[in-house]
Structure 1
Amino acid sequence: MKKFLGTTAAIFLAVVVHAQVTVKGTVQNSDNAPLQGATITFINNGKQLSTTSDATGIFTFSDIPENTIAVVKATYINKQTALQNITIGNEDIALNFTLQDVAYHLEPLEVRSTRASDKAPFTKTNLTEAAIKKNNIGQDLPFILNQTPSVVVNADAGNGVGYTGIRIRGTDGTRINVTLNGIPYNDAESGGSYFVDLPDFASSVGSVQVQRGVGTSTNGAGAFGATINLSTNELHDSAYAEANNSFGSFNTWKNTIRVGSGLLNDHFTIDARLSRISSDGFIDRAKSNLQSLYFSAAYIDKKTSLRFNIFTGKEKTYQAWNGVPQAKLFGTKQDLENYYYNNIGTYYFTPEDSINLFNSNKRSYNLYTYPNQTDNYQQDHYQLFFNQSLNDYLSLNVASFLSRGRGYYEEYKYGQSYADYGLNNYVVGNDTISVTDLVRQRWLDNYFYGQTFSLQYKKPTDEITFGGSWTKYDGKHYGNVIWANAGIPKDYQYYNMPAYKTDVNVYAKWLHTFTNALSVFGDMQYRHVMHDMRGFESNPSLFIKRTFNFINPKAGISYTKHGWNAYISYALANKEPNRDDFEAGETDQPKHETLNDFEAGISNQKKNYNWSATLYYMQYKNQLVLTGQINNVGAYTRTNVPNSYRAGIELQAGLKAASWLNISGGATFSRNKIKSFTEYLDDYDGNFDWKGQQTIIHYNTDIAFAPNVVANGSIAIFPVKNVEIDLLSKYVSKQYLDNTQSDAKSLHSYFTEDVRAIYTFKNVLFKEWSIAGQLNNIFNKQYEANGYTFGYYYDNHLVTENYYFPMAGTYGTVSVNISL
């Protein structure tokens, strides 16, 4: 390490000593507002250097030799390309580009209608295509967002490939609204977003906006803590072809091919992508085999655009979602033997398997050893967009979509009762058999379809948007037994429970600018939701039909001037329960949740530094949480707690310390509390016969999985031309596995450090190609990013069982990316 630091320092010194002329400049639009993310290309004798403009529109090229004649080109999506010819003497040069709108209808209105604009008084982070591309090494989308504020990520397989999760401000994925080009993506029943069903989707994404808090009105499931808005519909006006290939630890491969036609005959464009990702995973038997396809074709005219997207993802993953028992990670051999004894009816392995795994001294332990304990799913998306400029101020967007999903997970089950499968006991001669081992597949087969629309009026002082959507979900839930020891025919269907959901929303937004600096924003949404569930696996006779009507107002005021931005806002959100919550029974149905969100922020952006601070208070009414209570069919279900809240401050800062050094970071400090709730614990006697449930009342406890501190940091070093070295840091404080704030049921705090190096070649063999290497968790931190717990009384003693999802120690990836 000392040699590395010494060599790096020598390189830095050499760069400083031999620094030459600097070319600086700004990029702005026709309204003289800075453009962030514009691509600036420096062309000299056929060789090119590229950079992007920062949040204030500023770009810089350093160490340019004297007496150079060059062309500098500025490009930005939906703007006309601008060129300037320059001759460099012995003094720095300052340039200014003003990019005019193109004469085509290129702006993706379906995205603008659901995103928060720069002047909207909401807390948000925008990621450009360049930032996404740099972080896209094959891990799932949550890991690409890991350096954004208040984000905590996890992965079942331990390395970010396969099933992954994201929490923002402690809010889990079922409460984070996700849209793809303005079209809802959240699962209509669970509320979750399963990015494993869209492998490598990030390779087609042109921009991302993450809104924290309730944010502005959007389509689909109510944003109940955060919104992730993904866009693939930006236009590439020049032809391109790319090949991205990477290989990493745990036999992880990513292969991606992207091609695009650019603008053909001034009207047509085609983009396509083919991807494959595979990994053995860090966890034992947590393999992933993922494929995806993306295709988009568009017709674009001065006032009209028509675009059709089709993308599909197919995944096969070994099941690792049960985690690793505490006895394996932190206990003794005897603890694991006792654990196996108590859970003999659950998993497909023998005591010898259990002890062999313990003796292997691997943290990457999987409860399942059945060879085909796998999840298999395919999801196809069809999207059709129509944009029309009605006049200079009014534009219309209409989008139709269909999402088709089908698949199953297969599992081995030990000692299953025939009665639980609607069958009589199996009789052989004089013997009556009541249980059998079996293998079953549990299927989902669904259609999710609908339309979104927006009508937008835009003048210098007013932006008004009227929009909404209607969606229908048609889902089939059924299970088949594909093998049994005896007494069950092959492919016997033991349940079939269809479910339907209708979701209709309309909203109106108004952004009014009083002066160049002062703006007010108002937003009102009406949402109608109807669930129709025709039984549940554990309770086939329970039919539930529930309707919800929500009014969600939002308002705020913002001030923007000379690099300063300040805002305050209030937003109300309501959310319906998830499918599993309704299984509580006819007389004990859950209430909807309500969130009052108060936000206040201030930021300042200068040439070489920026900083921001956001205060938030999110007050919940009837938040649904797990308490251990069981419903009338013996299943654990979430229950409403009257009062809870999340409050905190988010701090961010960035510094351009030198032409070769950028530093940025942020930290969230929060307090997340449930004022009171009742915990329920099963009670068993010495023979494991159930005696009922005991209750414990808790007051003012931390909300599960809501760390008090989340921090991230990044140091970007440019030691020589075309080389970038990034140091990425992440800290997450202690998290609790449930809402009792018990240290015995918690995740330890952790700090990880990643390092990435990129070397880019320009016009050498190809137009551009790069070699990148990333080493994750370089200090080999042993930590768990997720887990779950349950407890019970056994023979008058409290027993707590914890399960964890450990993350990999040090692991790496090498990638080669080629642009033709």
Structure 2
Amino acid sequence: MLFSLAAIALFWVVPTRAQGPADFEGPDTTRIYELQQIEVTATRVDRKTPVAYTDLNSEEIARQNFGTDMPSLLQMTPSVVATSDAGNGIGGTAFRLRGADASRINITTNGVPMNDAESHAVYWYDTPDMASSVGSIQVQRGAGTSTNGTGAFGGSVNMTTARLSNEFSGEASMSYGSYNTNKQSLRIGSGLLGRHWIIDARVSHISSDGYVDRASTNLSAYMFQAGYYDNSTIVKLISFGGVAKVGLAYDGVTKEQLQTNRRYNSQGLIEHADGSISFYDDQIDNYTQINNQLVVTHQFNNRWSLNVTGHYTYGRGYYNQYKNGQDLSEYGIPPIATDDPAVTVTESNLIRRKLMDNHFGGVVASANYTVSRFQLSIGGAASVYDGRHWGDVMSVIEAPDFGRFEYYRNASTKYDGNLFVKANWEVACGLNIFADMQYRLIRHNITGTNDNFNSVTSALQQLDIHRTYHFFNPKAGINYSFARNHKIYVSFSVAQKEPNRSNFTDTKQNQYPSPERLNDWEFGYLFRNSRFEAGVNFYYMQYKDQLVATGELSDTGEALVRNIPDSYRRGIELTAALEITPWFTLGANATFSQNRIKNYTEHISEYDADWNYLGEKEIFMKTSTLSYSPDVIAGVMFDFHVKGFSALLQTQYVSSQYMTNARIDALSLDAYCFTNLNLGYEFSTARTKKIRVGLQVNNLFNSEYCNNGYGYSSIVDGVRVDEAFYFPQAMLNVLANVTVSF
């Protein structure tokens, strides 16, 4: 469908452009750009701020935007490790920053939180083809500056949507490659209409069979922007989102399966009465998310500006699961009568569906004051989340006449507000003092019946949780630029974070977690001239009451996390880039770190030979290693570009890492290294602004590696058993792309 739309658009629109520019003279393009810059003033940092950060501009994003999710585009930035359930960077993807997972990384778009209000996670397939909607990205490492949403316990990612242009433009992009991966995208920008209005719209479709069996992805996305402009004000209506259908693939494979069939996926496995097996073909996550933003930016004069963003996000979806040998009483279903009065069905295979419906809305505002040596931002945000979770047993296989049955339903509301003031003052030539203070208030309520069966009460878990948090997060630092090319900085930041939903639901009765606190020290040096840039950043992130998995099981049989009094991450980040010639650039980054828990106690569940639960054994370890935190992350980039041709060779190395906090070699990921090659050629014709032909070769040297996994330990009949599961990544695979800009 999109191929046809692209062809029609190119046929009709491209000749129109060739006829010449519009009849009237439009306003100053630079002025439109300056006003749109104000939108991110409050959440972005610059060279005068004592924060470790990396910027990605629209050209860098577009160069690698062949259809993979955002984590794949960020994986070569310092201290970042990307993961993919399906093995090819599309669908169930995520990334970690300094060892912190997505629930601990603050992610915003135009200052609006993207992290789910309850889980704190970001599900990238809920906003398909986000890379095509983004104009720029800033990755701040560490606590960073004040932002909206969950606390940054590893870092933050600040994205802005693509800028509106006052010139008519369009783009058609098509990709195809391994595992039937394909992307079609069409964008049209109106340019300035009536000297004040600009409209920009995009539709996209991405699908893939996935590297892992039945880990398919089918994503439909859109992006719409309408803007009104005058000399001092821009009003923009932005809407983006889409529909995602993603095959579940979060079980992983064992080490033995890695040797025999590394693409195996156990999700949807059906165990038939005759001993045969097959797979349920609808083990799929279906979700729709619509993000709406109304952005008002006004510049009063050369010193004062104001940005206000109202936002509303709607999400609704479900996923189906085939479950074998289920005890119906754990679903609240009484024994089901059969034709034989003496026989009832109390256990059966069944199909269940878990659903959710949520609404998230609020306002983000900041007033910005700038003079030659002083910058001040005063702002805040307020939001309300309203979510509903419920589940239905769709069918009971042993009782085909049994109808749909709702077995749980619960509701959540969350109120989140913050106020901040931040200032950057150049007190002397090159010497900047930075200060940032934020107050945050959260109220979180969860009530109803949860989906987990509580072994203590022998019933589905009942929720009645009401929590209020008050956080004060100060930040301060000094930045000194000297001798034109040198910069040195030091900063101290506090970030605090509330527990997420699962921290309350996956626990022991009446044992609820406390909030977490991070004290973050950063010290760095940067050298930059016209051809060479090098930097070093030292960090010490001290956590109080960090929530980590201990090996315990909750009352509902889920992995339990507890507050650990003392833990830390400390390391050194190195970056360098050298323009050897005007057509060849060499870049590199590396992170060397230690990530530790002090006075850690591992808990291991004990069972007899018949798997009857006997209790838990405690093993005191004194100091242990935080899970999913490699000691070394390193990347090298070779960028060759001459005339219209470009070649980008990227290699990343990640050292071994533990999958639990107990420091068990059997529950670890091996070190891995992979290389990606991006080739491109750009040219123009009389009818086009630019045509780019590209080829992305992933895992160039066919490395067999896993970038994620999980594991757990138990003691069975007196013998310790460590079970590990891995997520294998695709072998050498390719994606070809053609993008036509007009």
* TM-score, shorter chain, exceeding 0.5: yes
CA distance in 2, matches of 1:682, 1:291: 44
Q: What's the % identity of the aligned pairs?
A: 39
Where does residue 195 of structure 1 map in the other structure?
A: 124
Where does residue 425 of structure 1 map in the other structure?
A: 335
What residue identity is the alignment partner of 2:85?
D
- Does the CA-based 8 Å contact 2:268-2:280 persist in structure 1? no
Where does residue 526 of structure 1 map in the other structure?
A: 439
1:347 to partner: Cα distance: 4.1
1:799 to partner: Cα distance: 1.2
* Map 1:392-431 → 2, pairs under 5 A: 392-428=302-338, 429-431=341-343
- Which TM-score applies when normalising by structure 2? 0.91
CA distance in 2, matches of 1:132, 1:352: 53
CA distance in 2, matches of 1:165, 1:126: 19
CA distance in 2, matches of 1:426, 1:691: 32
CA gap of 1:352–1:696, structure 2 versus 1, over 3 A, is farther
- Which TM-score applies when normalising by structure 1? 0.83
- Does the CA-based 8 Å contact 1:457-1:465 persist in structure 2? yes
Could you give the per-residue CA deviations for residues 322-364 of structure 1, whole angstroms, max 9, x where no partner exists?
Answer: 111233125899xx9xxx9xx9x99425699999xxxxxxxxx
Could you give the per-residue CA deviations for residues 272-311 of structure 1, whole angstroms, max 9, x where no partner exists?
Answer: 1111000000001110000100000011111211110111
| 1:546 and 2:475 are equivalent in the alignment | no
* Map 1:282-681 → 2, pairs under 5 A: 282-330=211-259, 347-349=269-271, 369-428=279-338, 429-486=341-398, 489-535=402-448, 536-538=450-452, 539-561=460-482, 562-583=484-505, 584-585=507-508, 587-681=510-604
1:102 to partner: Cα distance: 2.4
CA gap of 1:104–1:129, structure 2 versus 1, over 3 A, is closer
2:701 corresponds to which of 763, 768, 779: 779
CA distance in 1, matches of 2:295, 2:32: 19
1:416 to partner: Cα distance: 1.3
- Does the CA-based 8 Å contact 1:105-1:302 persist in structure 2? no
CA distance in 2, matches of 1:647, 1:764: 55
SS at match of 1:106: helix
- Does the CA-based 8 Å contact 2:433-2:477 persist in structure 1? yes
CA distance in 1, matches of 2:200, 2:194: 15
* Map 1:210-289 → 2, pairs under 5 A: 210-232=139-161, 234-289=163-218
CA distance in 2, matches of 1:648, 1:354: 52
SS at match of 1:577: coil
CA distance in 2, matches of 1:346, 1:138: 27
1:485 to partner: Cα distance: 2.1
Where does residue 49 of structure 1 map in the other structure?
A: none
What residue identity is the alignment partner of 2:75?
N
2:732 corresponds to which of 805, 810, 814: 810
- Does the CA-based 8 Å contact 2:656-2:670 persist in structure 1? yes
CA distance in 2, matches of 1:748, 1:300: 54
1:767 to partner: Cα distance: 2.1
What residue identity is the alignment partner of 2:311?
F
- Does the CA-based 8 Å contact 1:542-1:586 persist in structure 2? no
* Map 1:109-148 → 2, pairs under 5 A: 109-148=38-77
Where does residue 54 of structure 1 map in the other structure?
A: none
What residue identity is the alignment partner of 1:394?
W
CA gap of 1:747–1:351, structure 2 versus 1, over 3 A, is farther
CA distance in 2, matches of 1:112, 1:512: 15
1:760 corresponds to which of 676, 682, 690: 682
- Return 5+ residue gaps in structure 1 as ranges: 1-77, 82-100, 356-367
How many correspondences in the alignment?
703
CA gap of 1:354–1:511, structure 2 versus 1, over 3 A, is farther
- Does the CA-based 8 Å contact 1:140-1:161 persist in structure 2? yes
- Return 5+ residue gaps in structure 2 as ranges: 1-25, 453-459
CA distance in 1, matches of 2:38, 2:640: 37
| 1:743 and 2:665 are equivalent in the alignment | yes
SS at match of 1:508: strand
CA gap of 1:693–1:351, structure 2 versus 1, over 3 A, is farther
Where does residue 691 of structure 1 map in the other structure?
A: 614
- Does the CA-based 8 Å contact 1:326-1:801 persist in structure 2? no
1:520 to partner: Cα distance: 0.5
Where does residue 3 of structure 2 map in the other structure?
A: none
CA distance in 1, matches of 2:275, 2:108: 44
CA distance in 1, matches of 2:662, 2:33: 58
Could you give the per-residue CA deviations for residues 712-760 of structure 1, whole angstroms, max 9, x where no partner exists?
Answer: 1111123x52111111111000011111111111101111111111111
- Does the CA-based 8 Å contact 1:380-1:405 persist in structure 2? yes
CA distance in 2, matches of 1:348, 1:793: 28
CA distance in 2, matches of 1:421, 1:109: 53
What residue identity is the alignment partner of 2:694?
A
- Does the CA-based 8 Å contact 1:211-1:226 persist in structure 2? yes
Query: How big is the alpha-carbon RMSD for the aligned residues of Structure 1 and Structure 2?
Result: 2.2
* Greater C-alpha Rg: 1
SS at match of 1:102: helix
- Does the CA-based 8 Å contact 1:106-1:234 persist in structure 2? no
Where does residue 38 of structure 1 map in the other structure?
A: none
CA distance in 2, matches of 1:198, 1:299: 25
What residue identity is the alignment partner of 1:107?
Q
| 1:726 and 2:648 are equivalent in the alignment | yes
SS at match of 2:594: strand
What residue identity is the alignment partner of 1:537?
D
What residue identity is the alignment partner of 1:579?
R
What residue identity is the alignment partner of 1:389?
Q
Could you give the per-residue CA deviations for residues 34-71 of structure 1, whole angstroms, max 9, x where no partner exists?
Answer: xxxxxxxxxxxxxxxxxxxxxxxxxxxxxxxxxxxxxx
1:118 to partner: Cα distance: 2.5
Where does residue 28 of structure 1 map in the other structure?
A: none
What residue identity is the alignment partner of 2:707?
A
SS at match of 2:31: coil
Where does residue 14 of structure 2 map in the other structure?
A: none
CA distance in 2, matches of 1:635, 1:709: 31
1:107 to partner: Cα distance: 2.5
SS at match of 1:324: coil
1:104 to partner: Cα distance: 8.0
- Does the CA-based 8 Å contact 2:164-2:200 persist in structure 1? no
Where does residue 6 of structure 2 map in the other structure?
A: none
SS at match of 2:737: strand
1:489 to partner: Cα distance: 3.5
